[in-house]
Every structure is written in C-alpha cells, then in structure tokens.
Chains A and B, each alone.
Chain A
C-alpha cells in the first residue's frame, strides 16, 4: 500500500472553503485516490475518489496533482456538520479494489 502523509489537524470557519492536503509520493500508476470521512461516533463515509483528473460531486471536489504524488480535498463552504476526521487512501483498482487501508487522517474542526 502507498504511504500517505496528512496534517494531524486543521481548523476552519463556517462557510469558508477548506483545502485538505494529502501527500502520497509512493502511489502507483493504477492506484485510485479515495477520501473518506468519519463524523464523531459514526462509521466512516465515502466522500470522493479519482485517478488522474479532478473530480467533483455534491459533497466535495478532489484536485489531483499532475504527477499524482499529492491531492487536495476541497470543501467549498464548510459547515459545522463537516467537522470530522478525513482520510486519504490510495487504493489499487481491479481485484484489490476492496481493500482500503486507513491511516490516521486529518481532524477538521469547524468554528461557528
């Protein structure tokens, strides 16, 4: 599994954009980049994933560096409900798709 480096914690104010970085310099060419988040006292939930191109969905945007050694999860307008631990997970496609290895993640605090 590719190693990841994420900040231990970040803070934001409500309704401001948040950029959560992740370094994955050992990522292989076929690894997708997945982001999950875990709200307090809940199981993790899927946020977004991508391979090379930037991706958008209703929850967030994923910006992937051209060399794929880093990516950034973008929350366009943070809300109090976005306070969670955010995990960046490189993961191989194909038969290995199912095996997601969670690191320590980034604890995001959102201030009113």
Chain B
C-alpha cells in the first residue's frame, strides 16, 4: 500500500500564475479531503468528496480555488490566479466509509 500520494512535494510560483496540486487516494477509499495548513490558521478543511462527488466546499476560500475528482483514483486542487497569501502546506487525505483518515505527505506551496 503506497498510501495517499501527492505531487508535487514542493512548488514555488510567482503571483498570478496557475497552480495545480494532485492527489491519488488509497484504492478502495471512497472519501477524499483537501486541507490547508498554515501557522496562523492551523489545519483547515477546504473541500471533501464522497464517491467522487463534492459534498462540502464551504472551506474553499474564494473563487480562485477549485477542486475536481474526475475518477476514484485522482483529484486536483487548482488555484488561479495564485497570491502570496495562498502559501501553505496543502494536504490530501482519503478514508473508507468506516475508519480513520490517511493523509498524504503534503505539498508545500510558496507564492512569491
């Protein structure tokens, strides 16, 4: 079991550029979550999917953020245009119906 796989591990981009973060959940897990972590705000849930359908996106900060899950094995989180305040570590997690979350190693995003 390779766990939840996120890419890239690190991303440095200039303000205004589009950023796409990727996540491959654990096979058989039917829920997927995107979190953002900063020193100031801690871990924040951005959006979560169940069976590839977005269930709650109330944590998405604004229209610049969008997330998709085209199939059970892949999800993306896109920021367009990116801003310096989007700098954070972005975590993807997946879970089965009953059981704990498994988190990926995260993507550290720096927007300069």
Interface string of A32-49 (1 = CB under 8 A from B): 001010000011111001
Q: Contact: A99 with B43, CB < 8 Å?
A: no
- Tell me which residues across on chain A come within 8 A of B106, comparing CB atoms: 42-43
Instruction: Check B25 for interface membership: any CB of A closer than 8 A.
Output: no
Is there contact, CB below 8 Å, between A43 and B42?
no
The residues of B that contact A104 with a CB separation of less than 8 Å are: 42
Determine if B45 and A46 form an interchain contact, defined as CB atoms under 8 angstroms apart: no
A25 touches B (CB below 8 Å): no
Show the binding face of B for A, using Cβ within 8 Å: 4, 31, 33, 35, 42-43, 45, 48, 50, 55-56, 91, 93, 95, 97-106
Task: Please determine whether B101 and A46 come into contact, CB atoms closer than 8 angstroms.
Answer: yes
Cβ contacts under 8 Å, B100 to chain A? 34, 36, 46, 49
Q: Which residues of B contact A98 (CB under 8 A)?
A: 31, 33, 48, 50, 55, 95
The reply to whether A43 and B91 contact each other, CB–CB distance below 8 Å, is yes
Q: What is the interface of chain A, defined by CB distance below 8 A to chain B?
A: 34, 36, 42-46, 49, 97-104
Q: A102-B43, A104-B42 are contacts. A44–B48 as well, Cβ < 8 Å?
A: no
What is the bound-complex CA distance between A45 and B3, given in angstroms? 12
Task: Give Cα distance in the complex from A69 to B89, angstroms.
Answer: 32
Quick one: closest B residue to A102, CB to CB? Answer: B43
Q: Max chain A CB contacts within 10 Å: which of B42, B48, B55?
A: B42
Kindly list chain A residues whose C-beta atoms are within 8 Å of the C-beta of B33: 98, 100
Known contacts A98-B31, A98-B55, A99-B56; A43/B45 CB under 8 A: no
Given contacts A43-B104, A103-B42, list 9 more A-B pairs with CB under 8 A.
A42-B103, A42-B106, A43-B103, A44-B93, A44-B103, A46-B100, A98-B55, A99-B48, A100-B101
The chain A residue with its CB closest to the CB of B48 is A98
